[in-house]
Structure 1
Amino acid sequence: MRLFVGVPIPQAMAEAVGEVCQTWARKLRSRVAWVRPALMHVTLKFLGEVPPAQVPAIQSALEALAAPAFSLAPQGAGFFPSAARPRVFWLGFGEGAPELRNLAQGLEAALEPLGFAPETRPFTGHVTLARIKDAAPGDPWLQAAQAVAALQLPVFAVDRMVLWQSILGPQGPRYQPVREYLLSRG
């Protein structure tokens, strides 16, 4: 099973961002795989291919993880690794970003004893909007990022995380929730 742990984002937010992305998709010559709004989320930890027999141990580790609920404010947009060499186009966060990072670090610590190596790169909470396969010279990527950053997106509650199974297919991936884990209130 191909698994990851993430935070869902509100559907209305994903649809608003998706509309802006579709407007820019028509203006760009780059070869791009746009993320469908229904699949937008914040990845906390990608687990990769996992034997089904290991899933109960993962579920137990996630159940035991004590983390508080918090609010998250969408803010800014950008690129990995950089605007000069865009490979991933993302939506970022302001308020709540430290709490999101703490949740990801807690998850890393909970899963490391099960054989999941900690991520070596610093965690940057984001929603992937597109994967850029081949950036065409002169495409206005910075303007696309400014258009996404200018959206008036509401703060939302992060009150759960989800263990998802990613099922790859000819039409792209499909994410099936395996189990949700509520974060504590107060």
Structure 2
Amino acid sequence: MSLAATALLTVGLSACSGGDDAGSSYTALETDGGASTGLPTSTSTASRTPSSPATTPSSTTTSATPSTTSTTTTASPTSTATTPAYDTKLASACINATGKMNSVVRQWNNATRTKSTSQLNEAANAMSTTATSLRTIGRNSGDNTFAGHTTDVARELDNMNEARDDGKSVLTDDYNTQARQLRSYCKTEIGE
């Protein structure tokens, strides 16, 4: 799996019932255990690939009297620049988006574990901020399909924030579904 594809791992949200936070029940969903990976930092790499030895003689000497031939062959490695097999602008957008998603999910999951009203409110507000960021990342990615996925995830974050503000249950299944679809698209486009 490429570094860029590995960086797309994310965590799932925990659900929260509305009403009294201390008496609410919470269900934890999938997480990546807080794993983080290195990200690609350049858009091109150089590799040295040995070429086949040159078969054209660089000099040939023959004489008419004794039949002797001298051949000299020289081989040298070839250096070639390669470009990544994926769109680096999209890769950067995918990594940026999933990083923001991971951050808000961790904040929400931590708040649901503590059942602290203030932490839950802060985490819900962070969902709104993250939704705005995701829409911007999607628009700037240059990829319409990716932009659609970020818009879908952003809509679910807004829905969860609104549910929290209205004192309703915060349901996370739709968010987790949209987040998985975004990650899957990124992995497909970036490669594994």
Q: Which structure shows the higher helix fraction?
A: 2
TM-score normalised over the length of structure 1 = 0.25
Q: Which structure shows the higher strand fraction?
A: 1
TM-score normalised over the length of structure 2 = 0.24
Rg: which structure is higher? 2
